[in-house]
Amino acid sequence: MATISLRKGNTRLPPEVNRVLYVRNLPFNISSEEMYDIFGKYGAIRQIRIGTTKDTRGTAYVVYEDIYDAKTAVDHLSGFNVANRYLIVLYYQQAKMSKKVDLKKKEDELTKMQEKYGVSTKDK
């Protein structure tokens, strides 16, 4: 497995490690203050974005100033219990996230084309 050349002491980080974390399984009513209390213990935070739409509720992005603080947060908060929910804390990976968006967009385009040309995919 390749490693990033950034070092803090002799620590080498795997390539997926970055400053942006994707958090799932959050309580829907969690506040920004609660998020800062939980994640701020591991280092300076640049930004937290909590999902507010039907599709994004229960998720958030946490951006740390330092990559090592983000790694420490993932190590300590994965499986952390908040309001009887166990957090899933992952490193944000643009390639995986954009594939989900692209797939949805392509499905929508296909549906529009089927409607436009009167094509049905249902068995008769």
35's CB contacts (< 8 A; 6+ apart) are 48, 50, 60, 62
CB 77 within 8 A of CB 56: no
43 falls within a domain: yes
Q: How confident is the model at residue 4 (pLDDT cuts 50, 70, 90)?
A: very low
- Tell me the residue range of the domain where 60 lies: 20-94
Distance CA 20, CA 61 (A): 7
Find the DSSP H helices in the chain. 32-39, 67-77, 94-117
Distance CA 95, CA 66 (A): 22
**What is the domain-level CATH number for residue 58?**
3.30.70.330
114 falls within a domain: no
Of 97, 98, 78, which is closest to residue 38 (Cα–Cα)?
Answer: 78
pLDDT digits (tens, 9 = 90+) for 55-102: 899 999 999 999 999 999 999 999 999 999 999 999 998 776 655 666
pLDDT digits (tens, 9 = 90+) for 98-121: 556 667 777 888 888 888 888 776
What pTM value is reported for the model?
A: 0.69
Q: Map residue 90 onto helix, strand or coil.
A: strand
